[in-house]
Structure 1
C-alpha cells in the first residue's frame, strides 16, 4: 500500500488546517534518485535548513541504500540530527556566524567536521576543539571569483559573508594550515541553488571541481574531502516533477578524472549537499478558504495559511506565485491568494489562475516539503503553527506541531 492512499483532505478534516503532509516514501525515492545520478562513492549531505522534521530526516538515513549525512548550522539542527539517529561523525557543521557556545556544544557532542568561512572562523573552531582536547577536520569554504552558470541565488563571485575569497588562499595558506585544534581536510564550495536545468548544474559543478584543483595547488596539501555543493532542482510550491540528471554522473567522472585522477581510490572523498531536492516533493500544504471578497474589481481568496505558515522565503523570490489543486476540477479565474495576517505582504499569489473557490473549500499547495514552517514567520501575530503529519507505507507515522513558549528567567535583587 502506498502512502498516496492517505488523502490529505481526510487528514485535514481530522486534524484541522493549515496542515502539512510529508510523504516519507517520496523522501526515500528522492534519496535513491540523487545517489543514482552521482558517481559511485559520492557522499550526500542533507541540508537541514530545508526541513528539519525528524521523521523526514530519519528517512534519509534509514533503510536500504546509501544513507545521507547531515549538514547543519545551529545547535537546534544539531539536536534534530541527534534525535533522528545521526552521530557526530555523520555531521558537517557550517555557517558564517558560529559562536563559541555552539561550537563547544557541537564538539562536545562528537561533531568532528566543520566548514570554515574565514581564517577567524577557523580559529574559533580551533579554540573550541582545543577546549575539548581534540583536533577537528575543517573544510575551507571557498568564495570563488568566477562562476559558470546563472541561477536565482548565487553564493559566490561577490563580497559576501560566505567563504574565503579564492584569490587570497595562496597568500594565507600558511596561516590556514597552522591553526591549533584544526586539520584542514579539504574544501567546501557551494555556488548556486536550484539550477535552471541539467546543463547549468553540470557547468557549475564541473567548474567547481576545476576551482578546487587550483585551490589545492595554492594550499600545497592534498585534499581528503571535497564538498562541491549542490543546486539540484525541484519545483517550489508549483506543480511539476523533481528534476532528473541522466548525464550528471558521466560528466562529473570526466571532470574528476582530469583534475583529481586518484578520486576513484578515495583521494579525495567527494560529496554534494542538497536540501530542497531531497525534501521538496514530499510535502503538501493543505489550507482552507476562510473568505472570498471583491475589492475594486479584483477578487481575493483568503486562506488560513499565510507567510507565517509558508512563505518566509518569498523575499528571496522563491515563492510567488504558488499553484493550488482542489478535488473538484472546473473553470478557473484570476484572483489573489492571500493569507489571514494583518499585513498587505501576506500574499501567496497575486492575480493568479485559481479554481473558483468558496469559504470552506480545501486547497492543496504541492511541492511544499522544503522551506515550509521553519523558514516562515511562525511567531508573527501569534497564530498557532501548522500541524505537520508524516505518512509512509499507507500509514500515519507521526502528528506534531511546533510550539512557542516564552520562558521567564527569575532575577534576584542585585543580580546583573
Structure 2
C-alpha cells in the first residue's frame, strides 16, 4: 500500500491516548493492482477472488467489478459475497460442505460447485433433485504430482482435499449417472504460496496433460478447467515477487497452442496474491526488554490479531515508524542494531511476529508497521483469546 498514507494514519493515531493498534487497507492501491493483473490475462482465462484470504466488505466491494467473481468455501462467505454484490458470480468449494450449505448455494444461483468426494456428489445430487434443479459441478482431483516446492501442499501428498486420482473413474461414473449434477470439468488446486512463475507454468502443463488424458479415457469434453490459485507472496524479500508478466506471457502461449478449443473457460482463484499488498498491520511498542541476553519488543497486539507469521513460522517484514512523543516520566527503553524478537501481549511464548531480526533503533512508543498483511491476517486469527481489544480496521481511498 502507499507508504505515505499509512505513515500519516499512524502519526495521527499516535497522538491519541490509547496505543496504536490497527489494520489499514489501501483500496485504491488494491484496485490498481488487481485491475492490472486481470488485464494481463489471456483470452479464455478468468480470475476469481478466493474470499478466504480476506472477506472484509470494503475489499469485496472494491474487487467485485474487477474480477470474474468470488470463490467461497462456506455459507457464511456466500452470504458476504451476496451482500457485497447481489449479482457477483460465485464458485462454491470447500472439503466438508453441509447439506444446508449446498442447498443455500443452489438457491443463491452459484455458477458451480467444486465437489471433493463421491459421497459429496451423491449429496449434491440429492439436494439439487429435491430443489428441482441441477448443479453444474467440477470434480476436484488430488493429483499424484510431482509439484513444485511451496509453503503448503494440498495434493501429491496425503491430505483431506479432493478425490484421489486413483478413484477418479468411480467419481466420473457417479457424476455422469446422478440426476442432480452436470459434470462440466475439473478443479485442480495443489499448493499454496508458490513463488516461481516457471514452476507454476510447468504445473499448468501437467494439469493440461492430465485433463486431456481423462477426456480421452472417459469420453469427456470439458467446458471449464479450474487451475486453482497458489500464487504466492515473498514475505522474505518484498522486492522479489512472483513474476506475473512472465507468467501471463507463458500462459498466453500455453492457452493458444495447447489448451483444447472446447475449453471455453480456464479459471484461476487467487486470494493472497491479490490482496496481501494492500494491507498493513500497525502496532505500538509497549516495552523493550532484555532477557537472558536476547532483546524483545513487546507490542500492543500480536498473533491474536495477526496469526500469519506464527502459522507459517516466518518473521514477518516490518518497518519502524518513530514516534517522538514519550508520554511517561520514566527512562525510554530501546533496542538498536541487535537481533530483536517482536512479541505480542498474549501469555504464551508462541506469540511472536518476528524472531531475532536485526533492526534499526526501536524504542518503546514507536510503531511497527507490518507490510503485506492484507491476506490471512485478521481472517485466520484467534481474535478473542485473553479478551484483548480488537484492532481498529481502517479502509483508505474509495468506498
Same-fold call, TM > 0.5? yes
Q: For residue 326 of structure 2, what is the aligned residue in structure 1?
A: none
Aligned to 1:78: 78
Report the counterpart of residue 13 of structure 2 in structure 1.
12
> How big is each residue's C-alpha offset from its partner over 1:234-288, in whole Å with a ceiling of 9 and x where there is no partner?
234864464332232342233334543315xxx3311111000110000011100
CA contact (8 A) 1:312 1:377 kept: no
Deviates more, 1:115-124 or 1:242-251: 242-251
TM-score when normalising by structure 1: 0.85
- Give the drift of 1:300: 1.0
Segment drifting more, 29-38 vs 118-127: 29-38
Paired with 2:372 and 2:32, the residues of 1 have a C-alpha distance of 14
Q: Offset at 1:312?
A: 4.8
CA contact (8 A) 2:25 2:278 kept: yes
CA deviations on 1:126-148 (whole Å, 9 max, x unpaired) are 22222221111101001111234
Partner of residue 321, structure 2: 327
SS at match of 1:96: coil
- The two structures, once aligned, show a CA RMSD in angstroms of 2.4
Q: 1:385 to 1:178 in 2, by over 3 A?
A: farther
Q: Give the secondary structure class of the aligned counterpart of 2:362.
A: coil
Mark the runs of 5 or more structure 2 residues left unpaired by the alignment: 324-334
Aligned partners of 1:3 and 1:391 also within 8 Å: no
Give the aligned partner of residue 385 of structure 1.
390
Structure 2 residue 356 is matched with structure 1 residue 351: yes
Alignment partner of 2:320: what SS?
A: coil
Contact 2:195 2:233 in 1 (8 A): no
Per the alignment, residue 160 of structure 1 pairs with 159
Aligned length: 384
CA distance in 1, matches of 2:54, 2:75: 15
- 1:130 counterpart residue number: 129
2: CA distance, partners of 1:277 / 1:3:
19
Residue 48 (1) aligns with residue 44 (2): no
Q: SS at the partner of 1:43?
A: strand
Specify the alignment match of 1:254 in structure 2: 253
Distance 1:368 1:67 in 2: 21
Which residue in the other structure is 2:331 paired with?
Answer: none
Aligned to 1:287: 283
CA distance in 2, matches of 1:68, 1:303: 39
Comparing 250-259 and 197-206, the one that deviates more: 250-259
Aligned partners of 1:313, 1:293: CA distance in 2, in Å? 21
Cα deviation for residue 340 of structure 1 reads 0.3
Cα distance in 2, alignment partners of residues 211 and 20 from structure 1: 42
Distance in 2 (alpha carbons) for counterparts of 1:211 and 1:34: 27
Contact residue 235 and residue 317 of structure 2 kept, 8 A = no
Q: Find the aligned partners of 1:115 and 1:259 in 2 and give their Cα distance.
A: 24
Native 8 Å contact 2:195 2:242 kept in 1: no
Check if 1:244 corresponds to 2:238: no
Asked if the contact 2:232/2:272 (under 8 Å) is kept, the reply is: yes
Of 4, 22, 28, which residue of structure 1 is paired with 2:25? 22
Report the TM-score, using the length of structure 2 for normalisation.
0.89
Alignment check: 8 A CA contact 2:53 2:275 kept: yes
Deviates more, 1:300-309 or 1:197-206: 197-206
Structure 1 position 197, deviation (Å): 1.8
2:310–2:351 contact (8 Å) kept in structure 1:
no
Question: 1:60·1:68 contact (CA, 8 Å) conserved in 2?
Answer: no
Deviation string 1:193-244 (CA, Å, 9 cap, x unpaired) is 1212221221222222222222223332211111111222223486446433
Give structure 1 stretches of 5+ with no counterpart: 398-416
Q: Say if 2:376 is the partner of 1:371.
A: yes
Question: Equivalents in 1 of 2:122, 2:24: separation in Å?
Answer: 42
**Paired position in structure 1 for 2:67:** 67
- 1:409 equivalent in structure 2: none
Mapped partners of 2:231, 2:12: distance in 1: 30
Distance 1:331 1:180 in 2: 68
Deviates more, 1:350-359 or 1:281-290: 350-359
CA contact (8 A) 1:166 1:215 kept: no
Determine the C-alpha separation between the residues in 2 that align with 1:86 and 1:17.
36
Q: CA deviation at 1:53?
A: 0.6
